[in-house]
């Protein structure tokens, strides 16, 4: 089975709302195979733990809130949070440490 086929099946599984067992039975694959694909797909995110995520500091008024600046944090898993607030660089550093702390444990 090609990688594209596996990705298609994983997408169908997530959209199905079925248990792994039921989806595997309906798809004609072994549940252990499905679980392996799910685990392998998550593995890069686990491997990214401990790596730094890019942080962008936007200077000047934030267009939506008129605050002095904003912080955008992107985790390696693709999660992005933009926070509009008045922080100096030391405040941004403290915020990033707080946000990343749980991810690094």
Residue 99 scores a pLDDT above 90: no
pLDDT number for residue 62: 53
Q: What pTM was estimated for this model as a whole? A: 0.41
- Convert the pLDDT of each residue in 43-95 to its tens digit: 555 445 555 656 555 555 555 555 556 667 676 777 777 776 777 778 777 87
Domain ranges of the chain: 3-47, 55-104
Residue 22 scores a pLDDT above 50: yes
**Residue 71: Cβ-neighbour burial (10 angstroms; 0-12, 13-18, 19+):** buried
**Strand 80-84 versus strand 55-58 pairing type:** unpaired
List, in order, residues 6 or more apart from 30 with CB less than 8 Å away. Answer: 24
Instruction: Give Rg (Cα) of the chain.
Output: 20
């Amino acid at each position: 089975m090609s990688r594209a086929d596996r990705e298609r099946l994983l997408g169908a599984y997530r959209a199905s709302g079925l248990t792994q067992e039921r989806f595997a039975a309906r798809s004609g694959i072994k549940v252990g195979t499905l679980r392996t694909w799910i685990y392998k797909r998550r593995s890069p995110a686990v491997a990214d733990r401990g790596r730094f995520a890019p942080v962008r500091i936007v200077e000047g008024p934030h267009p939506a809130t008129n605050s002095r600046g904003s912080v955008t944090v992107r985790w390696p898993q693709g999660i992005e949070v933009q926070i509009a607030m008045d922080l100096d660089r030391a405040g941004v550093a403290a915020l990033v440490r707080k946000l990343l702390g749980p991810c690094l444990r």
